[in-house]
Amino acid sequence: MTSLHWFRRDLRLGDNPALMAAADSGAVLPVFVLDPALWSAAGDPRRAYLVRSLRALDGQLDGRLLIRRGRPRTVLPHLVREVEAEAVHVAEDCAPAGRRRDEAVEDALGVPLIRTGSPYAVTPGRVRTGGGEGYKVFTPFRRAWQDHGWHSPAPDHRAALSKLDLVDGGRSDDLPDADPPEGLTLPDAGEEAALDRWAEMLDGPLAHYDTERDRPDLDSTSRLSVPLKWGEIHPRTILADLARRRSIAADTFRGQIAWRDFHADVLFHTPSARDTSLTAVLPDDSWAEGAEEREALAAWTAGRTGFPLVDAGMRQLLAEGWMHNRVRMVVASFLVKDLHVRWQRGAEHFMAWLIDGDVPQNQLNWQWVAGTGRDASPYFRVFNPVRQGQKFDPDGQYVRRWVPELRDIPGKAVHEPWKLPRSAAPDYPEPMLDHGAERAATLEAYQEHRRR
């Protein structure tokens, strides 16, 4: 018996239950379908990274990964008939668009579409309240999530490869040219790179994760958001290793996996969260519009706001396709609550540039900062970009790395360059606004909405 394994967000061999289910049934043709709709919707950084990840996976498979370009509902039925496959195996896609696509493919296949596992520790929709609903608050979700538990990892990549009886599917379609934007450096792609990064985390930074994870000046985060987005590593692999580490730091890291599952669960139950605020917090007339919005977005996206921590984060995004999580919160708060630009505009920019751009994580994290989502930060919490810099980048190393105009300013003075003579940083812009005044305007608009 021959079956297809349709790779999607599981670009790895190890800990891949769907791939093992295919292998258990007989010979396997591994295939990736490059959907033009998804390709055109992705930003250049994600396209470039995806091509590199696919090449890494193809290398693991000794060049046997079949690439087909086209719509899955057309490509896969044709391929099934071509190789006389008796089933198509996939990891379940729980996102609204992915579920619709899979239903259309299933209707067209003529053979079973077998779903095994998902990109999450606990598949969205599985953890429910006593009333059978999705959780709206993270802490009780995490308790129920922990109680539900998850399977042990499937065989690793070496064991998986030894088990696979691979079928030759013929000549692959060429992958598109996909260079990252000029000046952007991509991290190493593929399963082996992801496992190496996780091993490095376990050997060092994990021990201090609970105390250092908010420090963008330190290399204390895993940067696994990228391989998790593409499925180059499964969260279950991470959780299995964390289970052997009994510490506050390991539990803090486990909590980040739980947040990832929580956001996917929220989107599963409330698909509108992709684009629509789940809670209204401000009057419609309080948002920037037209030229005001365009000018605000231009300064923010270019990292030219005059607030060093904000600008450093936005420039890191342009240079790496990634940004430290604490800084993501600061730049998001600045856009929404200082510049009065709707969160959807910021989320769109992030999705255009982030290599780890993932709909449930990106949109729901933006809603968290904006105070509009499930278990969100209250809208009246406004991040002070100066104090955040002084607290989490105390010596200014992160700012000086990404804002070269400020490299000659020592220590934490780099967070308030406007207090120095203009000659100290002549090429750096003055602050584009008064944070105190904009914070007051935000709080007044919030109170006005509550009065209405």
Tell me if 187 sits within 8 A of 355, measured CB to CB.
yes
44 phi, psi to nearest 5 deg: -55, -40
- 191 Cβ partners below 8 Å, 6+ apart? 11, 12, 13, 14, 56, 57, 60, 157, 227, 232, 233
Starting at the earlier edge strand, list the strands of the sheet with 2-7.
Answer: 66-69, 27-34, 2-7, 88-90, 113-115
Tokens of 380: 């009246």
**CATH architecture for segment(s) 119-154+191-269:** Alpha Horseshoe (1.25)
Q: How far is CA 50 from the centre of its chain?
A: 14
Q: What does each of the 452 residues of the chain score in pLDDT, given as a tens digit?
A: 899 999 999 999 999 999 999 999 999 999 999 999 999 889 999 999 999 999 999 999 999 999 999 999 999 999 999 999 999 999 999 999 999 999 999 999 999 999 999 999 999 999 999 999 999 999 999 999 999 999 999 999 999 999 999 998 888 999 998 999 999 999 999 999 999 999 999 999 999 999 999 999 999 999 999 999 999 999 999 999 999 998 999 999 999 999 999 999 999 999 999 999 998 888 888 899 999 999 999 999 999 999 999 999 999 999 999 999 999 999 999 999 999 999 999 999 999 999 999 999 999 999 999 999 888 777 778 999 999 999 999 999 999 999 999 999 999 999 999 999 999 999 999 999 999 999 999 999 888 877 76
What integer pLDDT is reported at residue 283 of this predicted model? 81
Question: What class has domain 284-447?
Answer: mainly alpha
What is the pLDDT at residue 169?
84
Query: Residue type at 416?
Result: E
What predicted TM-score, i.e. pTM, was given to this entire model? 0.95
Where do the H-state alpha helices sit in 36-94? 36-41, 44-60, 72-83
Domain 2-118 fold: Rossmann fold (3.40.50)
CB 260 within 8 A of CB 120: yes
Question: For residue 51, which phi and psi values (nearest 5 degrees)?
Answer: -60, -40
Residue-range domain boundaries for the chain: 2-118, 119-154+191-269, 284-447
In the three-class reduction of DSSP (H, G, I as helix; E, B as strand; rest coil), residue 48 is classed as helix
